[in-house]
Amino acid sequence: MEKVTSNIFTETKVRGCNPSFVTTSDGVVVIDTPQLPSKAVQMRKDAEQHGPIRYVINTEHHVDHIFGNYYFKGAGEVVHHQGVYDNFMVVGPELDPFAYAKEALPTDDPDGEAIFPDRDEYYADPNKGAIVFTGDLTLRVGGHTFELLHTPGHTPGQIAVHIPEERAVFTGDTIFSECQTWLMTSDVDGWLTALDRIGQLDVDYVVPGHGPVTTKKYLAVQRSMLMEWKTAVAVAIAKGWSKEETMERVHFKDRYPVDIGQEYMMDYINEWNAKSLYEKLTADS
């Protein structure tokens, strides 16, 4: 794993989100868990070398941030915003999260197939939140402060985890660093507000949901990407394009690659982004 500070470790080079952990004088705090089973098991071992795991925090409900919770049972209390808890591994119109996790095994984690549960076994105890909150929440572990800030936009229960002692913030998918942004069912206006809130933090390190660790300067890049998407779809609507035409003709495939292991989803991401924005903008008109 990449060592961001003397106490922050993250993994930016495997399929899924950037699962991370923070070491303190009184144990370890995990922030998002690996989607791939063997990576989840290994990360738990790595984290526990630094002390007992006190908390497992998920920044959002999307499967690549939460599936690994299954392999962290008994390792600290799971902390969820109410929006994460309510949507945890719920099958939606755009994705079956369990099937999505399973389909990655042959290409990205063949060793994980032996420890991948069947659907009924998984859903019997996926390791959801034991601590569930609304608004913001502050946790203190050892000499560290973990400010869980509600930053809805990408998802309703989205949070950022600010650790002032490390001058760092974990944004979850409020930031896609140097890779394709997944809009899907997001609230873009809320997302822009979330970027404003993160921008007020005094930090040197921004650990994104996907892509390389960055700085606050990247907030402007993410903002630009969101605004370009919304403007491009709005222009398509003004031209009288149908939803299908917009899905075909409006895209940003040449801007960034898809994050690791999901290259085959380039068309899917762009089509869903355009579809979601088209439906939202026409519903408001």
> Residues 13-26: what's their mean pLDDT?
97
* 57 plus 195 within the same structural domain: yes
> 213: domain range?
2-221
Residue 101 has pLDDT above 90, yes or no: yes
Residue 143 has pLDDT above 60, yes or no: yes
Residue 99 has pLDDT above 80, yes or no: yes
How many structural domains compose the chain? Answer: 2
> Residues 198-214: what's their mean pLDDT?
98
List CB contacts of 171: < 8 A, sequence separation 6 or more.
Answer: 59, 151, 160, 198, 206, 207, 208, 209
Residue 245 has pLDDT above 70, yes or no: yes
Residue 40 has pLDDT above 70, yes or no: yes
Percent of the chain beyond pLDDT 90? 96
pLDDT of amino acid 284:
60
pLDDT of amino acid 285:
57
* 68 plus 48 within the same structural domain: yes
* 45 plus 181 within the same structural domain: yes
> Residues 243-255: what's their mean pLDDT?
97
* 131 plus 246 within the same structural domain: no
* 259 plus 203 within the same structural domain: no
Residue 94 has pLDDT above 80, yes or no: no
Among 221, 252, 271, identify where a domain stops: 221
* 197 plus 162 within the same structural domain: yes
For the entire predicted model, the pTM comes to: 0.96
* 233 plus 125 within the same structural domain: no
* 174 plus 208 within the same structural domain: yes
Backbone angles phi, psi at 167, to 5 degrees: 50, 50
* 247 plus 175 within the same structural domain: no
